[in-house]
Amino acid sequence: MVLRIRLARFGKKHAPFYNIVVAHARTARNSRPLEVLGTYDPIPKPPPPGTNARPWKDIKLDVSRARYWVGVGAQPSDTAWRLLSMVGILEPRFRVGQIQGKVVKAETAAKSLIPEEAEVAQ
């Protein structure tokens, strides 16, 4: 039977929370899986007050175990693929790589601008 790496929705109404699980493809969404690889909290957390940091999403993942399951033929769902590709387990699809590159470029550009402003201020 096909193994899938997929998300199982827990949490409450309007407060979703997902377990990242390895399960047989034909089992119910929230049935007991073979293994819980981690969690995905899709609600973005605000940055710490008083900083310029960006909001963030909290993901817990056993990377080595996920790599093992992919290695033995588990098929990630689209969302799981997106998440796993972020940590480099899979080839990026769904524009993950493009966006990441853009954000990094924008950030470095912003950082290179800041010292100039500081000099002007002085």
Q: Give the nearest distance from C-beta 69 to another protein in angstroms.
A: 10
Residue ranges in 76-115 that form contacts with another protein under rule CB under 8 A: 83, 86-87, 96, 99-100, 102-104, 107
* Tokens found for residue 64: 């080595």
* Tokens found for residue 70: 């992919």
CA of 7: how far to CAs of 17, 80, 92, 99, in Å? 9, 7, 18, 23
* Binding range to another protein, per CB under 8 A, among 29-37, 71-79, 114-122: 29-37
Q: Which of 97, 63, 92, 60 has the alpha carbon at shortest distance from 78?
A: 92
Instruction: Pick the binder of another protein from 35, 75, 77, 79 (CB under 8 A).
Output: 35
Q: Confirm or reject binding of residue 60 to another protein (CB under 8 A).
A: yes
* Spatial contact of 23 and 3, defined as CB atoms under 8 Å apart: yes
For residue 81, the tally of other CB atoms under 10 A from its CB is 21
Instruction: Pick the binder of another protein from 28, 48, 73, 119 (CB under 8 A).
Output: 48
DSSP, collapsed to helix, strand or coil, labels residue 18 as strand
Q: Confirm or reject binding of residue 3 to another protein (CB under 8 A).
A: no
Q: Which is nearer to another protein, 10 or 113 (CB)?
A: 10
Residues that bind another protein (CB under 8 A): 8, 10-11, 17, 19-20, 32, 35-39, 44, 48-50, 54-63, 65, 83, 86-87, 96, 99-100, 102-104, 107
